[in-house]
């Protein structure tokens, strides 16, 4: 089973436990302590049953077409929330008391599990799927982006590189990068994932549920 299948679970029915690395299920120290205790007692080490983990999962909003929803552990959602609010991997590692290498690995696993191409896309998917909650009242931006700038920012949220976005809108990768940096600078935002969160709070990005069912059924939610 791949991580994408593990994260995306039906709303009604049994779902497998997501196999995240390191911090996403239980504290690795707890695993080590349990293994040492069972080794001394000469007992076999048994894996954690999914029924003990599923009640701890956080579920997003159901898809309006098929009813399925994205699910993840609280630690996975916590790391995604830190990233969405401008924490760099190094700052998130200090906050979570782990290594930068481990945070990078966990972010990669989280992006793979959500079907995202990079961290910005993972944050965008988190907002669209309901794993990351938005305030009920939209935020008003001091500097409203133009239509051209909004096309650039939507490409950033969709996980495209500056070159890919530039090819779609007829601009160079340098011009796309300058447009993104200009938006971040005007609104006091440090990171691109934080910029994606700000744009979602302002209701300026595509908020369609990321469930891929409409691709296979031909129905757009």
Its pTM stands at 0.74
Give domain status of residue 81, yes or no: yes
**Does residue 145 sit within a domain?**
no
Residues belonging to the chain: 221
Within-domain flag for 152: no
CATH number at residue 68: 1.10.10.10
Q: Does residue 192 lie in a domain region?
A: no
Domain presence at residue 202: no
pLDDT number for residue 19: 37
Quick one: pLDDT at residue 115? 87
**Which range marks the domain in which residue 116 is found?**
3-129
61-81 in b/e form (b: 16+ CB < 10 A) is ebbeebebbbbbbebbbbbbb
Residue 6 and residue 19: Cα distance in Å, rounded? Answer: 7
What is the count of structural domains for the chain?
A: 1
Asked if the structure places residue 26 within a domain, the reply is yes
Tell me, yes or no, whether 175 lies in a domain: no
More confident position, 7 or 74:
74
Q: Look at residue 8 and tell me if it is in a domain.
A: yes
């Amino acid at each position: 089973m791949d991580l994408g299948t593990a994260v995306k679970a039906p709303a009604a029915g049994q779902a497998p436990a997501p196999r995240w690395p390191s911090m996403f299920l239980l504290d690795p120290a707890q695993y080590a302590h349990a293994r040492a205790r069972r080794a001394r007692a000469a007992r076999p080490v048994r894996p954690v049953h999914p029924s003990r983990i599923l009640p701890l999962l956080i579920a997003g909003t159901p898809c309006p077409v098929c009813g399925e929803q994205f699910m993840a552990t609280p630690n996975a959602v916590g790391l995604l929330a830190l990233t969405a609010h401008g924490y760099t991997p190094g700052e998130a590692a200090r906050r979570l008391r782990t290594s930068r290498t481990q945070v990078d690995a966990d972010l990669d696993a989280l992006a793979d599990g959500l079907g995202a191409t990079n961290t910005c896309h993972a944050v965008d998917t988190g907002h669209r799927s309901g794993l990351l909650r938005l305030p009920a009242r939209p935020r008003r931006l001091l500097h409203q982006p133009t239509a051209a700038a909004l096309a650039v920012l939507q490409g950033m949220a969709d996980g495209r590189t500056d070159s890919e976005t530039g090819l779609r809108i007829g601009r160079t990768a340098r011009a796309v990068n300058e447009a993104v940096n200009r938006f971040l600078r005007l609104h006091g935002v440090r990171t691109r994932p934080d910029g994606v969160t700000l744009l979602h709070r302002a209701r300026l990005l595509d908020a369609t549920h990321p469930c891929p069912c409409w691709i296979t059924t031909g129905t757009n939610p």
